[in-house]
Amino acid sequence: MDLYEHQARELFEENGIVVPRAEVTDSPERARDIARRLGGRVVVKAQVRTGGRGKAGGVRLAAGPAAAEDAARRILGMDIKGHTVGAVMLAEPVDVDREFYVSYVLDRAAGRFLAIASAQGGMEIEEAAAERPEAVVRVPVDPAEGVTTAVAARVADAAGLPPQTVDVLVRLWEVLVREDALLVEVNPLVRTTRGAIVALDGKVTLDDNALFRRTRWGGGRTTPADPLEARAAGKGLTYVRLDGEVGVIGNGAGLVMSTLDVVAGQGARPANFLDLGGGASARVMADGLSVVLSDPAVKSVLVNVFGGITSCDAVADGIVRALEEVRLTKPLVVRLDGNNAARGRAVLAARAHPLVEQATTMDGAARRAARLATAA
């Protein structure tokens, strides 16, 4: 579960990390009043659970209360990467001397956390990391030891951060532990012209499995931050949005994970993980295909099904039904194997949709889907 920025900053402040004074509202008129209370000049920031707000126009500096009201009116209702802005946070501006980046993230493969830090922070951190990877340091953190002052000093020294950031690194780790978080991030962490270390922006991702201990955030009743993930959850689908161009649908988590690897091995990037489950019905197949096709980043779709509890002809019926409900504008590659596979292939062949192709092997299906996606 991703928290909004204003929720993350609340946690930071409660744990002794300095943040600018700020208030949240969903009303342009109240934004004017808040700006007046904060001294007039404020930063108006869209509250959405995604990055890229600044580049999308969701962060604006307002010179006074009237300008704050105008900025709030412009930002509220804005679409940022599929997220509609329903609230804005108004914060005191800070005179910045230097910007830094610090975070802790769970490294699942290694069974530990990583401290990630850089002496270069702000909106261009991703570009800096890509162009100068040595500018971003990654220090493993033993969960049993945690981040002591000595560990924090080692991270700060490796990244070229000033000594004043050591205390922040320790306190940020305390936020992660107390809140059962998978990620805590401050970007940028700044040194002001007066020498203070201040967290200007923050991101916190909580572990959904521990939300029953976090009644403050809903006690386990969460809505996925991504609109497509929320839509899929509403249909009872196990769907995770990724950053690729090949939509992937399968039945069974193991098969879907294998399909993602095979797609990547063909030089393409999976756009999602979608597991229909072992007993996927025609209705579930239609719902899943509808969700995947709704992602504008998807250039082709690969359906990889091994018929077991649900036979392949039922899956094929679901695909046909989806084609009646959703206008197919992207190529669809289908690989059916197992229970009633021949009958399922015949169902698709009879439908003879011009954008639907069939493949007999997983490698062949992935290869074709990858080529179709990269050629689009």
Q: Tell me which of 101, 104, 239, 245 is the catalytic residue.
A: 101
Matching residue, tokens 């007993």: 279
Q: Are strands 332-338 and 356-359 parallel, antiparallel or unpaired?
A: parallel
Q: Tell me which of 69, 99, 179, 185 is the catalytic residue.
A: 185
Select from 259, 241, 263, 243 the least CA-distant residue to 251.
Answer: 259
For residue 185, indicate whether it is catalytic: yes
Cβ–Cβ under 8 Å, residues 80 and 61: no
As given in the structure block, the two tokens for residue 109 are 């493969």
Separation of alpha carbons 174 and 290, rounded Å: 42
| 2 SS3 class | strand
Select from 194, 263, 274 the least CA-distant residue to 239.
Answer: 274
Matching residue, tokens 């992602």: 295
For residue 126, indicate whether it is catalytic: no
Q: Quick one: CA torsion of 254, 255, 260, 266, rounded to 10 degrees?
A: 130
Cβ–Cβ under 8 Å, residues 255 and 366: no
Residues annotated as catalytic are 101, 185
